[in-house]
């Protein structure tokens, strides 16, 4: 494992296991505050331009696609 960057809320690394090809892994822990998560989304967007091979993203984004509806 070789850490490429480690800004707040993520660790972006190059991984190789034994004789396999290298691939990129990004581990996320998104801030619970919406305003602080914006920095995370911008950094992920920047990283995406450099991805040309295998990659994975894991973690907790602390974000939802849409709010839950409460049914009576």
* pLDDT tens per residue across span 16-31: 988 889 999 999 999 9
Residue 33 has pLDDT above 80, yes or no: yes
What is the rounded distance in angstroms from the CA atom of residue 40 to the CA atom of residue 21?
27
pTM of the model: 0.80
Coil, helix or strand at residue 51: coil
End-to-end Cα distance, the chain: 50
What is the rounded distance in angstroms from the CA atom of residue 40 to the CA atom of residue 16?
25
What is the rounded distance in angstroms from the CA atom of residue 27 to the CA atom of residue 29?
7
């Amino acid at each position: 494992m070789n850490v490429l960057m480690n800004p707040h809320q993520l660790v972006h690394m190059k991984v190789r296991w034994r004789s396999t090809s290298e691939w990129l892994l990004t581990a996320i822990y998104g801030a619970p505050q919406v305003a602080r998560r914006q920095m995370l989304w911008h950094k992920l967007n920047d990283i995406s331009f450099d991805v040309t091979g295998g990659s994975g993203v894991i973690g907790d984004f602390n974000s939802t696609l849409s709010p839950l509806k409460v049914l009576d």
